[in-house]
């Protein structure tokens, strides 16, 4: 018997199912589900800005002072200020924590080698790995964006039974893959040349602006279609 005032396992499962059903009801089509999940993943405009501020602080400080530890400290300090602001406002800290985690990894690489350019190496490797994973998922016809659909429907693989959904998710995965390839193509030569200032500028300019451009194309593509969320369901008219 469960203790008074504490939900038992059945109640918790029922609550979780209710939340899942509500999320399904909120999205009738694949396009609606993908739009909603991408907005949630990026954290909106504020989340995008918070991701860029520490990089800008680090880069400007390095260009001015040429002091690696000072520059890393400024980047980390800005991230901590953003975290405090989130805590004071009692809003989600997920995106700031992601930024702090990225700074910690960048600092580890840079401090270990003593080269400021190495602070950008983890980002280059991440984009290369992410692009490779997305390309592989497209080749084997299990595009990564499809799992966004699975997170909404509650069945991680049901979407794969519908060819229209697989085709749409492949197109959307390409649109996420291309910015990663562009970042690697631009930043890796700058990294090899040790151009820290240009690396910082490229990281910012090829970060959220390029992502926004890719998302704009995705939004256009998503606005054109009305692919039913449940495989086999009739297509709705726009």
Q: Which residue has the higher pLDDT, 46 or 138?
A: 138
pLDDT at 15: 43
CB 142 within 8 A of CB 151: no
pLDDT band at 60 (very low <50, low <70, confident <90, very high): confident
* Per-residue DSSP letter, 177: H
Q: Is the pLDDT of residue 32 over 50?
A: yes
Rounded mean pLDDT, 72-96: 88
Share the mean pLDDT of the chain: 78
Give the integer Cα–Cα distance in Å for 62 and 200.
10
CB 49 within 8 A of CB 59: no
Rounded mean pLDDT, 182-189: 96
Rounded mean pLDDT, 159-187: 90
Burial class (CB in 10 A: 0-12, 13-18, 19+), 1: exposed
**Weakest-pLDDT range from 34-38, 129-133, 163-167, 168-172:** 34-38
Give the integer Cα–Cα distance in Å for 209 and 48.
9
pLDDT at 230: 54
pLDDT band at 205 (very low <50, low <70, confident <90, very high): confident
For the stretch 107-116, pLDDT in tens is 899 999 999 8
Kindly report the number of other CB atoms within 10 A of residue 20's CB atom. 14
pLDDT at 165: 82
Rounded to 5°, the CA angle 147-232-134 comes to 25
Give the integer Cα–Cα distance in Å for 152 and 160.
14
Task: Provide CB contacts within 8 A for 234, sequence distance 6+.
Answer: 228
Give the integer Cα–Cα distance in Å for 120 and 152.
34
Q: Is the pLDDT of residue 1 over 50?
A: no
Give the integer Cα–Cα distance in Å for 208 and 214.
10
CB 82 within 8 A of CB 50: yes
pLDDT at 127: 95
pLDDT at 179: 92
Q: Is the pLDDT of residue 82 over 70?
A: yes
pLDDT band at 2 (very low <50, low <70, confident <90, very high): very low
Give the integer Cα–Cα distance in Å for 110 and 17.
46
**Nearest CA-CA partner of 110 in 58, 64, 65:** 58
pLDDT at 234: 45
Ramachandran angles phi, psi of 10, nearest 5°: -65, -40
Q: How far is CA 106 from the centre of its chain?
A: 18
């Amino acid at each position: 018997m469960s203790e008074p005032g504490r939900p038992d396992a059945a109640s918790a499962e029922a609550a979780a199912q209710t939340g899942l059903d509500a999320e399904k009801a909120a999205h009738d089509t694949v396009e609606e589900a993908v739009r909603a999940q991408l907005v949630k993943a990026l954290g909106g405009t504020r989340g995008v800005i918070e991701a860029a501020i520490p990089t800008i602080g680090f880069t400007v400080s390095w260009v001015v002072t040429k002091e690696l530890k000072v520059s890393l400290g400024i980047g980390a300090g800005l991230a901590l200020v953003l975290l405090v602001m989130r805590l004071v406002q009692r809003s989600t800290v997920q995106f700031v924590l992601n930024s702090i985690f990225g700074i910690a990894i960048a600092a580890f690489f840079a401090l270990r080698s003593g080269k400021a350019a190495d602070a950008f190496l983890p980002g280059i490797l991440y984009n290369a790995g992410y692009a490779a994973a997305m390309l592989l998922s497209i080749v084997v016809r299990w595009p990564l964006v499809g799992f966004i659909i699975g997170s909404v429907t509650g069945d991680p693989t049901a979407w794969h039974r519908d060819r229209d959904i697989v085709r749409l998710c492949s197109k959307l995965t390409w649109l996420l893959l291309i910015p990663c390839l562009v970042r690697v193509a631009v930043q890796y030569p700058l990294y090899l040349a040790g151009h820290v200032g240009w690396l910082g500028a490229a990281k910012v300019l090829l970060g959220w602006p390029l992502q926004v451009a890719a998302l704009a194309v995705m939004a256009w593509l998503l606005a054109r279609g009305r692919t039913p969320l449940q495989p086999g369901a009739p297509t709705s008219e726009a």
